[in-house]
Amino acid sequence: MKTFRKLLETDGIYVFDGAMGTRLYDKGIYINRSYDELNLTAPDLVREVHEEYVRAGADILETNSFGATRHKLQSYGLEGKIHEINAAAARIAREAAGGKALVAGAIGPLGLRIEPFGPTSFDDAKEIYREQVAGLLEGGVDLFILETFSELPVIEQAIKAVKELSDLPIVAQMTIQMDGNTTFGTTSEVFTARLDELGVDVIGLNCGVGPTHVLSALEKMRDVTEKPLSAQPNAGLPRDVQGRQFYMGSPEYMATFAKRFVQAGAKFVGGCCGTTPTHIKLIADAIRSISPRQAQVFAKHGHAKVVDLKPPDVEVVPMEDRSRWSRKIAHGEFVTSVEVLPPKGCDAEKTLDSIKLLKNAGVDGVNIPDGPRAQTRMSAQATAVLVEREIGIEAVLHYCCRDRNLLGMMSDLLGAAALGLHNLLIITGDPPKMGPYPDATAVFDIDSIGLTNMVNKLNHGLDLGNNPIGKPTAFSIGVGVNPGAVNLDEEIKRFEWKVEAGAEYAITQPVFDTEQLRVFLKKIEHVKIPIVAGIWPLVSYRNAEFMHNEVPGVNVTTNILERMRIASEKGKEEAREEGIQIARESLLEVRDLIQGAQVSAPFGNVKYALQVFDSLNTK
C-alpha cells in the first residue's frame, strides 16, 4: 500500500470506511458505553468492524478513537487511560488493515467551549489534543483525520497539536447544517479558505447532513482551494421509527452521490453515521468505474480565491460616538447609574415614574438587570426600550447567557441595536435553581467571555461565523467583575479574557470592603479599562447578613455588620439611614480609584440611591 502522500500525488480516487459507532451498536453495544474503551475491553469486536470495511473495499480505515480525549473519557472515569486507549485504537486498525489499507488516527471535537466562547483556553485545548495524538502515534497511524468539527478555533488547536508532534498528513473535515453553514454560521467558503491557510493536506465534510447538502457545499469549496477534497456524509438524515433512529439513505443512493462528489472535486469519499460495509462496497464499486483522468478533470478548475477573514470594510463606530454613557467613559469622566429592577408584571408605570426622578437628578444611566436571582420579571430589553423612549434617560442593559441559545442571543442583540439600545453589561447569569422555578433549564451555550466576543464581532459588522451583517452595531461593551471572588486568580484570568474579547468597561459586584477593592484594582492595573464600582445601600442587619452569606463574592466587613446590627436594634428608619451612610462612605473612599458608581435602589426606591450620590454633589 502506498503512503498517503503518494496517494495525494496520483490521479486516483480513494475510499474511506464508514461508521464505527453504528456497527458497534448493531452488534449489541449500547450507547451508554464508551465506544473508545472497547479498544481495551473488546478489541476483537473493534477489529471485526475494521475488517468488514477492508473487505468492502475501503482504502483508509479510521481508528476507533473519535471521542478518546480527556474531557470525553472523564465522564466514564477513563481519563487515566487516554494514551492506552488511543494507542490500542491504532494497533487494532493496523492489524485489521493487513497492509491492504492505510490507518487514519481519528480525532473529534472536544465537547468543550473554548475561548473566545468558553473558559477553556487555546493552549489547554491544544494540550488535550496532544495527549490523544501522542497515543495514536505510538500505536502507529499513517495520517490523521480531524472530523465532525463545527468551530474553526477548535479544529485549529487540533491541527497545531498534530503538527507539533508529527509531520504526518492531515485530513480536516468540518460538519455543516442544512443551510450549508456550520452551527456558528461559518460558510463553507470561509472555513475552507482558513483550513487551506492552516496547511492541512485534505479539506472535507462529514456527518451532520446527508449527501445532497454535502454536495452543494462541496461545489462551493472547490472554488476557494486547490487542496484535495473529501466527503463522508451520513446515510441521509435520521428518522424516528418507534423510538429508534434509522438512517434511510440506501447503499445504492450513497453510491450514486459518491460519483457526484468526485465530479464536484472530491478525491476521497466515504461514509459517516448510518453507513455500513454494504454502503462502502457500493461506493467503492462506483468509484472504481470512474477513470482517474476523468476524475482529475473535475477535481481542479479555476484558481483558489482568498477569503478575507478580517472584519469587512465597515466604519466601526468609535466608543465616544455610541452613546452619552460611552462618551463620558471614553473621555475619562465620572459616570453615575442606578440599578432598577424591571417590573414584575406588564405594567411599567410605577417603575418609569421612579426613573423620572433619576433623570431630573442628572444621573447618567439606569441599569436594568436581566432576570437577577433567576426571578421572573418583564424582559430587561423591553424595560430598557421603555425607559429610553418614555423617560429620555439612557439605559445600561444587562444581558445574560442563561436563557438563550446562540441564535436567540444573536437575534436579541440585532433587535436591541435596531431599537436604539447602545449600552450593554454582559453577564453569565444566575442559575435557575436560585429562583422560584428551580426546574427551569439554563442554556449557557456560551459564557460572558464568549458573549463579549459576539458583541465585539457585531460592532465590527460580523456575525459569529465571520459573515458580514451589513451596518455594524454600536454597543458600548461592559462586563461584570468580582473583587471578592473566592478564586481571585481565576477571576482575574477571566477578566483579562473579557478585555481581550472586547470589553470596554467593567462594573463590580457590590463593594463593602473598600480595602479589598483597592487590592483587586492593584492586581488588574495592567488591564486598562475603566472600572465602575457597585454600591449597595443596606437597609437592615438581616439584609447585611444576606449579602455577606448568600451572595457569592460579596464581603460585608465585620465593622459594617456590627454597625447595621446596632442601627437595626434602634428601628427600621435608623437602619436604613445607617445603610445609606455606609454607602456614602464607601463611595467616597474609592472615588479616586474608579470612573463611576452604580448604586442599587433597595426595594425599587430610587430616593435611597440618590441620597448616596449626595456625597458627590450629583444633582
pLDDT tens per residue across span 384-396: 999 999 999 999 9
* pTM across the whole model: 0.60
Given pLDDT bands bounded at 50, 70 and 90, which one contains residue 305? very low
Residues 6+ apart with CB under 8 A from 408: none
103, pLDDT greater than 80: yes
Residues 6+ apart with CB under 8 A from 502: 452, 453, 455, 456, 459, 477
Given pLDDT bands bounded at 50, 70 and 90, which one contains residue 240? very low
**How confident is the model at residue 23, as a pLDDT?**
86
**How confident is the model at residue 298, as a pLDDT?**
32
Task: List domains and CATH numbers for the chain.
Answer: 4-299 (3.20.20.330), 319-536+594-606 (3.20.20.220)
**Spatial contact of 256 and 294, defined as CB atoms under 8 Å apart:** no
Average pLDDT on 201-218 reads 90
Angstrom distance (rounded) from CA 523 to CA 511? 16
Helix (H) or strand (E) holding 408: helix 406-418
**How confident is the model at residue 486, as a pLDDT?**
80
Phi-psi region of 362 (alpha: psi -120 to 50; beta: other; left: phi over 0): left
Residues 6+ apart with CB under 8 A from 298: 262, 263, 264, 265
SS3 assignment, position 497: helix
68, pLDDT greater than 60: yes
pLDDT tens per residue across span 283-298: 998 887 663 433 333 3
111, pLDDT greater than 80: yes
485, pLDDT greater than 90: no
**How confident is the model at residue 333, as a pLDDT?**
95
26, pLDDT greater than 90: no
**How confident is the model at residue 550, as a pLDDT?**
73
Average pLDDT on 442-459 reads 82
Given pLDDT bands bounded at 50, 70 and 90, which one contains residue 302? very low
443, pLDDT greater than 90: no
pLDDT tens per residue across span 141-176: 999 999 999 999 999 999 999 999 999 999 999 999
Peptide bond before 292: cis, by omega within 30 degrees of 0? Answer: no
Question: In this structure, which amino acid lies at residue 150?
Answer: S
Angstrom distance (rounded) from CA 500 to CA 108? 28
β-partners of residue 144 are 105, 170
What is the residue-wise DSSP string for 11-40?
S--EEB---SHHHHHHTT--TTS-TTTHHH
Given pLDDT bands bounded at 50, 70 and 90, which one contains residue 429? confident
Q: Which of 62-66, 111-115, 190-194, 362-366 is predicted least confidently? A: 111-115
82, pLDDT greater than 90: yes
C-alpha cell at position 368: 436594568
**How confident is the model at residue 235, as a pLDDT?**
82
Average pLDDT on 490-508 reads 90
Average pLDDT on 306-320 reads 66
pLDDT tens per residue across span 402-424: 778 888 888 999 999 999 999 99
Angstrom distance (rounded) from CA 232 to CA 258? 9
Distances 388 to 345, 355, 366, 370 between C-alpha atoms, Å: 19, 10, 9, 16
Q: In whole numbers, what is the pLDDT of the chain averaged over residues? A: 87
Output Rg (C-alpha) for the chain, integer angstroms.
Answer: 29
Residues above pLDDT 70, as percent of the chain: 90
